[in-house]
Structure 1
Amino acid sequence: MRKMTKKNKVLAAAGALALVAGGGGAAYAYWTTTGDGSGSAANSNGGGTVALTAQFSQGLTPGNSVPVEYYAENETASGTRVFSVSPTVSITLAAGVTGTCDTTWFTPTAPVVAGGVAVAAGATALVSTGDLTFADSATVDQSACKGATVTLTLESDK
């Protein structure tokens, strides 16, 4: 049997490599295909609620205002966005007090936040700040408002 020269070994290796590469190319072409399909799943319906709270100082007097901070607690499993808070005033007179403490004397503001405020799932965020103003009447006795509890009932669009 004849010995292979270095040149013949290189040529044999190159030929083997060409066969493997050519065979691999044929296998690739054999397995190439096309396809189509789809997938779907229903999104969350956004169920759950956003709990709103208002925080402001006590001791409001006629002719003055106090700052109000409006918060939203997201009790849902996904993030949400709150755009505005709408406060409505109610009054509970102090025990033993008679007379009128008119809700129209109290004006809450809650500016709409452009673009809304994102509230992550399970988180609480400051949504807006405003004021609660107690109007001073020069013609009506407002003494029934002494010690009264002012409550802001809140609604939002979410």
Structure 2
Amino acid sequence: MRSIALVAAAMLLVGGAGAYAYWSTTDSGTGAAANAKSNGTLALSAHLADSLTPGASVPVTYSAKNTGTSSLKVATISQTGTTDAPGCVFADNFTIAPSVVSDTRVMRTPRNQTAVDVTITGTSTLEFLDAPDDQDAWKGATVTLTLTSN
């Protein structure tokens, strides 16, 4: 009987040491991640009325939509113009007021979403200058605005 008690005590001692060794284990490690290489992407668009005539102006509305997964802030929308009329220089015949963005808030992406549908708007005015010379070459011309944001 005494030998059984000694064997049981020895097994208890060995088992306890094994448990102690298991709970005393330590480890270390590292982790890394790269940040995005760009600021994100906005979809910019402009809308203006057709049938602009010399001496008249039309409102221009802009929109900026966050199409990516990062949060972005838009403070300004800048525009330049071109036309498809041969020999007609946009800068000589049009003026366009700086855009006024309605909301300079950060366009945030909700957590755990792959894209966000946040749109802000801006306004401006495009004026067709009434030049003293013949402006018939502008009839039917298409005016294109190219947009950039901060």
Q: Is the 8 A contact 1:82 1:127 kept in 2?
A: no
Q: Is the 8 A contact 1:75 1:123 kept in 2?
A: yes
TM-score by length of 1: 0.61
Partner in structure 1 of residue 119 of structure 2: 125
Aligned-pair CA distance for 1:70: 0.9
Aligned-pair CA distance for 1:63: 0.4
| Paired amino acid for 2:138 | C
Partner in structure 1 of residue 137 of structure 2: 144
Q: Is the 8 A contact 1:100 1:142 kept in 2?
A: no
Aligned-pair CA distance for 1:84: 0.6
| Paired amino acid for 1:87 | Q
Q: Which runs of 5+ in 2 are unaligned?
A: 1-30, 110-115
SS of the residue corresponding to residue 144 of structure 1 reads helix
Q: Distance in 1 between matches of 2:47 and 2:102?
A: 22
Q: 1:42 to 1:115 in 2, by over 3 A?
A: farther
SS of the residue corresponding to residue 151 of structure 1 reads strand
TM-score by length of 2: 0.64
Q: Distance in 2 between matches of 1:90 and 1:130?
A: 16
Q: State which of 128, 137, 144 in structure 2 corresponds to 1:134.
A: 128
Partner in structure 1 of residue 82 of structure 2: 90
Q: 1:100 to 1:153 in 2, by over 3 A?
A: same
Q: 1:113 to 1:123 in 2, by over 3 A?
A: same
The Cα RMSD (Å) is 2.6
| Paired amino acid for 1:101 | C
Q: Distance in 2 between matches of 1:118 and 1:69?
A: 20
| Percentage of identical aligned residues | 41
Q: 1:82 to 1:91 in 2, by over 3 A?
A: same
Q: 1:141 to 1:124 in 2, by over 3 A?
A: farther
Structure with max Cα Rg = 1
SS of the residue corresponding to residue 69 of structure 2 reads coil
Residue-pair matches, total = 113
